[in-house]
């Protein structure tokens, strides 16, 4: 009987060890899969980061170009704004202000075509 109980104890230990090894392998597999997903996501983020850095560099270059253009045209732009919006002039220049004649109230008021025809007919007045 001792030998039978030793054998059943060995079988139980072997079964327990097999189940434990299987659980450890499953856990290692899950950890490996999770690690692989993180690796893939990190690769995607790095590629996106490179693309965004390229866009930033291009925008910085465009900003520098625009800034250089503004610095060249700054005096001209300021002069145009002063002339058009503030009605300023350079010494020796004459400013001519052309005013349009006031519009009739009928022209200001937008009427529909049928309202204009009714006004022309005026048979009820």
**pTM tops 0.85, yes or no:** no
User: What pLDDT does 90 receive?
Assistant: 81
Q: What is the pLDDT along the chain (125 residues), one digit of tens a residue?
A: 446 667 777 777 888 898 999 999 999 999 999 999 999 999 999 999 999 999 999 999 998 888 887 776 677 777 787 777 777 778 888 777 777 777 666 554 666 777 777 777 766 55
Which residues have C-beta within 8 Å of that of residue 95, sequence separation ≥ 6? 87, 89
Phi and psi for 85 in degrees, rounded to 5?
-95, -35
Which residues have C-beta within 8 Å of that of residue 83, sequence separation ≥ 6? 89
* Count, residues in the chain: 125
C-alpha to C-alpha distance for 119 and 122, rounded to whole angstroms: 5
C-alpha to C-alpha distance for 90 and 44, rounded to whole angstroms: 60
C-alpha to C-alpha distance for 29 and 31, rounded to whole angstroms: 5
Determine the distance from the C-alpha atom of residue 67 to the mean position of all C-alpha atoms in its chain, rounded to a whole number. 23
User: What pLDDT does 1 receive?
Assistant: 44
C-alpha to C-alpha distance for 20 and 12, rounded to whole angstroms: 12
């Amino acid at each position: 009987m001792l030998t039978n109980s030793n054998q059943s104890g060995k079988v139980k230990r072997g079964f327990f060890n097999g189940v434990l090894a299987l659980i450890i392998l499953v856990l290692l597999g899950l950890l490996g899969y999770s690690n692989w997903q993180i690796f893939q996501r990190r690769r995607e983020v790095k590629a996106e980061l490179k693309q965004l850095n390229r866009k930033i560099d291009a925008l910085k270059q465009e900003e520098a170009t625009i800034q250089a253009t503004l610095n060249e045209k700054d005096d001209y732009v300021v002069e145009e704004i002063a002339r058009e919006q503030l009605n300023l002039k350079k010494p020796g220049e004459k400013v001519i202000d052309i005013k349009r004649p006031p519009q009739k109230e009928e022209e200001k008021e937008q009427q529909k075509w049928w309202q204009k025809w009714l006004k022309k007919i005026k048979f009820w007045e």
